[in-house]
């Protein structure tokens, strides 16, 4: 099957294309309805199909004869533990944990929050929820208590699963005090908190509410997977929007299974038995699609790595893992490769490892800069591919489809649209733009299976955020262009979302926090270039009249509050004082102009600008910022 043929068919007749892909799945009831239009512009995939994602990921693989094949390899340089689970072993662990969840009153459709480090039990917890039809929401362990509380109040979980601690290369981060604090702040309370005690820290358990994971599990009985509708939610994944309130992206069981099996085979070129390494965290969408569901539903062996690219113990960590487990292909964010390059610019550590098993490397989460791209290809000697996706889509929108013939890759671009995605570029008025013309990147409806069709408990917000800006199209929030051969170039977000080390964060949320400081009159937070992290936030602050606080002191206080409220992952550590901010005559801060000045890009002062003199002042304050190369 060629890329060209698949792509043309997927756009001309999406229902026929995806009905064929769905054939390969072991449904309890095969869908007879493939695609239905809803009046509000959203779509339903496989409406009358019935399946179970955990069954497909585990039991089905055993039925296909993979029971003794390794399903999951846990490699934890921070604890020194290496552990492997066959499909049989993983299924048995998950079935028992699912039994415990049910014993604790968790049923179909109930929310379960998972706030855990990168341990096998985190993946088991996700699969256990899927087995009984509960809806999991994994919250990244780097988020502070307040962020966890926001998600608890939105997801309204029956149960919260956590561990006593997570581990960095140099310290133990206790999770339980964060959970306790979040539950003090949250209005909603889960009935129980299940705590995995790790030897590096012991958590205090609150009688009546908290339970010891291992003890509780000892008396649990395994349970079988339940039949679910294709449209039943598998999970909620919160992601930053442009406001402080995170968006609960909802992923459905049916579309997700069809899309991920397609992606693993045709985009990533994976076959059953291959070893796949999704280098990410279960707290992000990549962790869901490329650590847990995608590889397991495809019969691969998945690697779950609790470590860093450097310092655990050094910049050869990734290459050691590739060699040790014979990894066939991997996914990684560019920021990790930049960190490795900084420590091993000539690839000396790479050459010490046998990478012969590795066929290719896929990078996403932020733009892959050409310098890192060229370096990585040179030092590994392997094809390196940029590809682009979002939490909302759950699987790649553009990518080289290495499992399809005739699929070319083009360095510098995040490659062509994957079958199923009709990617277009529009100007501000919604007119289609031609090759090489830059505008808003959109996807013509219907979105393919797997893409989110709603936000948890707030369908209106989904419609407003994604479908109403350009009727008939899904609005990605990214700007860029297509070249004449259809290769896509992503230039960055067109909204107030920034990407720090591949983590998506809302500048609006940080602005709210900065503005709460008693000395601050007003502020704007923008993303500025960072050599390793891609972007980091910078706050431009106007002080209240008569305020004498020094910039250094203000910085300490603001850094403290962003750490406390959002978490260290925000990497918020730059504040600049300015006399005023550029605004429209109606008083709106012109953040797009600020971003251009910070990036050293040419810009045209908007006609709505109140006082053009302010731009010179801002340029002077931001003149020393590092620029993208
Ligand atoms: P997230 O939902 O956290 O995965 O973030 C998605 C956003 O990350 C996209 O909307 C893009 O702005 C950015 N992104 C992801 N992959 C790429 C890529 N390959 N090139 C450029 N930007 C990317």
Q: How confident is the model at residue 629, as a pLDDT? A: 67
The angle subtended at Cα 125 by Cα 123 and Cα 126, nearest 5°, is: 65
What is this structure's pTM? 0.91
Quick check: 280 pLDDT over 80?
yes
Give me ligand 1 centre to Cα 143, in Å.
Answer: 19
Instruction: List the CATH code of the domain at 84-226.
Output: 3.40.50.980
Three-state SS for 394-442 is CCCCECCCCCCECCCCCCCCCCEECCCCEEEEECCCCCECCCCCCEEEE
Give me ligand 1 centre to Cα 491, in Å.
Answer: 10
For ligand 1, whether the C-beta of 341 sits within 6 Å is no
Q: Which two tokens stand for residue 575?
A: 């504040």
Give me ligand 1 centre to Cα 354, in Å.
Answer: 31
For ligand 1, whether the C-beta of 478 sits within 6 Å is yes
Q: Other CB atoms closer than 10 Å to residue 181's CB: what's the count? A: 15
Q: How confident is the model at residue 603, as a pLDDT? A: 87
Q: Which two tokens stand for residue 90?
A: 């993983």
DSSP string, 52-92: -HHIIIIIHHIIIIITTSEEEEEEETTTTEEEEEEHHHHHH
With tokens 């869908």, the residue in question is 31
For ligand 1, whether the C-beta of 147 sits within 6 Å is no
- According to CATH, the topology of domain 501-621 is GMP Synthetase; Chain A, domain 3 (3.30.300)
For ligand 1, whether the C-beta of 367 sits within 6 Å is yes
Quick check: 116 pLDDT over 90?
yes
Atom of ligand 1 nearest to the CA of 398: 19
Highest mean pLDDT among 86-90, 332-336, 487-491: 86-90
Atom of ligand 1 nearest to the CA of 363: 19
Fold: same for 84-226 and 501-621:
no
Place 36 in a pLDDT band, splitting at 50, 70 and 90: very high
Q: Report whether 385 contacts 399 (CB < 8 A).
A: yes
Closest CA to 432 of 447, 442, 445: 442
Question: Strand 233-239 and strand 329-332: pairing?
Answer: unpaired
Q: Report whether 54 contacts 279 (CB < 8 A).
A: no
Mean local confidence (pLDDT), 297-326: 98
Calculate helix-pair angle for 591-599, 613-622, nearest 10 degrees. 40
Give me ligand 1 centre to Cα 402, in Å.
Answer: 20
Give me ligand 1 centre to Cα 514, in Å.
Answer: 26
Q: Where do the H-state alpha helices sit in 240-380?
A: 253-262, 285-286, 294-297, 317-325, 334-343, 348-351, 370-380
For ligand 1, whether the C-beta of 308 sits within 6 Å is no
Highest mean pLDDT among 3-12, 363-372, 589-598: 3-12
Q: How confident is the model at residue 251, as a pLDDT? A: 98
CB half-sphere exposure, 206, CA atoms < 13 A: 11
Q: Report whether 209 contacts 193 (CB < 8 A).
A: yes
147-198 residue pLDDT tens:
999 999 999 999 999 999 999 989 999 999 999 999 999 999 999 999 999 9
Mean local confidence (pLDDT), 577-603: 87
Q: How confident is the model at residue 333, as a pLDDT? A: 93
420-462 residue pLDDT tens:
999 999 998 999 999 999 899 999 999 999 999 999 999 999 9
Domain boundaries, the chain: 84-226, 501-621
Which residues, 6+ apart, have CB-to-CB distance to 493 below 8 Å? 477, 478, 479, 499
* Strand partners for 137: 113
Mean local confidence (pLDDT), 100-112: 98
Bond before 313 cis per omega within 30 degrees:
yes
Mean local confidence (pLDDT), 589-607: 87
Quick check: 586 pLDDT over 80?
no
Closest CA to 62 of 91, 85, 84: 91
Q: Report whether 524 contacts 561 (CB < 8 A).
A: no
Q: Report whether 352 contacts 316 (CB < 8 A).
A: yes
């Amino acid at each position: 099957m060629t890329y060209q043929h698949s792509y043309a068919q997927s756009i001309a007749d999406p229902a026929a294309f995806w009905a064929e892909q769905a054939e390969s799945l072991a449904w309890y009831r095969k869908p007879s309805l493939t695609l239905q239009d809803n009046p509000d512009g959203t779509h339903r995939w496989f409406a009358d199909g019935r399946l179970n994602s955990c069954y497909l990921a585990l039991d089905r693989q055993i039925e296909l004869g993979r029971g003794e094949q390794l399903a999951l390899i846990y490699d934890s340089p921070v604890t020194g533990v290496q552990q492997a689970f066959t499909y049989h072993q993983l299924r048995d662990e998950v079935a028992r944990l699912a039994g415990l969840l049910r014993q604790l009153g968790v049923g179909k459709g109930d929310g379960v929050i998972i706030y855990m480090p990168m341990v096998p039990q985190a993946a088991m917890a996700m699969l256990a929820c899927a087995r009984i039809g509960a809806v999991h929401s994994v919250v990244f362990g780097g988020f502070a208590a307040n962020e966890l509380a926001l998600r608890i109040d939105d997801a309204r979980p029956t149960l919260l699963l956590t561990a006593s601690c997570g581990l960095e290369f140099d310290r133990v981060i206790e999770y339980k005090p964060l959970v306790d604090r979040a539950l003090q702040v949250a209005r909603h309370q889960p009935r129980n908190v299940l705590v995995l005690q790790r030897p590096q820290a012991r958590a205090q358990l609150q009688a009546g509410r908290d339970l010891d994971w291992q003890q509780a599990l000892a008396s649990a009985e395994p349970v079988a997977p339940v039949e679910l509708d294709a449209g039943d939610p598998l999970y909620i994944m919160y992601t930053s929007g442009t406001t402080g309130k995170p968006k609960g992206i909802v992923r459905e069981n049916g579309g997700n299974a069809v899309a991920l099996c397609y992606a693993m085979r045709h985009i990533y070129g994976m076959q059953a038995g291959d070893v796949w390494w999704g280098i990410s965290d279960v707290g992000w969408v990549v962790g869901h699609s490329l650590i847990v569901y995608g590889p397991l539903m495809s019969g691969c062996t998945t690697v779950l790595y609790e470590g860093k690219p450097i310092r655990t113990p050094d910049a050869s960590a990734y290459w050691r893992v590739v060699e040790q487990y014979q990894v066939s292909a991997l996914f990684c964010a560019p920021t990790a490769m930049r960190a490795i390059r900084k420590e091993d610019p000539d690839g000396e550590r790479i050459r010490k490892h046998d990478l012969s098993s590795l066929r290719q490397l896929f990078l996403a989460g932020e733009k892959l800069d050409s310098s890192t791209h060229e370096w990585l290809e040179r030092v590994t000697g392997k094809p390196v591919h940029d590809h682009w996706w979002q939490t909302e889509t759950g699987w790649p929108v553009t990518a080289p489809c290495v499992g399809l013939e005739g699929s070319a890759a083009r360095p510098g671009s995040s490659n062509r649209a994957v079958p199923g995605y009709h990617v277009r570029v529009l100007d501000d008025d919604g007119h289609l733009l031609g090759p090489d013309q830059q505008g808003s990147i959109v996807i013509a409806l219907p979105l393919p299976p797997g893409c989110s069709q709603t936000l948890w408990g707030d369908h209106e917000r989904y419609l407003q955020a994604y479908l109403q800006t350009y009727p008939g199209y899904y609005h990605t929030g990214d700007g860029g262009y297509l070249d004449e051969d259809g290769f896509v170039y992503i230039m960055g977000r067109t909204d107030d979302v920034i990407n720090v080390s591949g983590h998506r964060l809302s500048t609006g949320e940080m602005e709210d926090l900065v503005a709460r400081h008693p000395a601050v009159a007003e502020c704007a937070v923008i993303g500025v270039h960072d050599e390793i992290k891609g972007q980091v936030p910078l706050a431009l602050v106007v002080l209240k009249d008569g305020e004498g606080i020094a910039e250094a002191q203000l910085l300490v206080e603001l850094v403290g509050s962003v750490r406390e409220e959002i978490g260290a992952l925000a990497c918020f550590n730059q504040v600049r004082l300015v006399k005023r901010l550029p605004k429209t005559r109606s008083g709106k801060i012109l953040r797009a102009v600020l971003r251009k000045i910070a990036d050293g890009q040419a810009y045209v002062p908007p006609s709505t600008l109140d006082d053009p003199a302010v731009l010179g002042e801002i340029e002077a304050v931001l003149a020393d910022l590092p620029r993208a190369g």
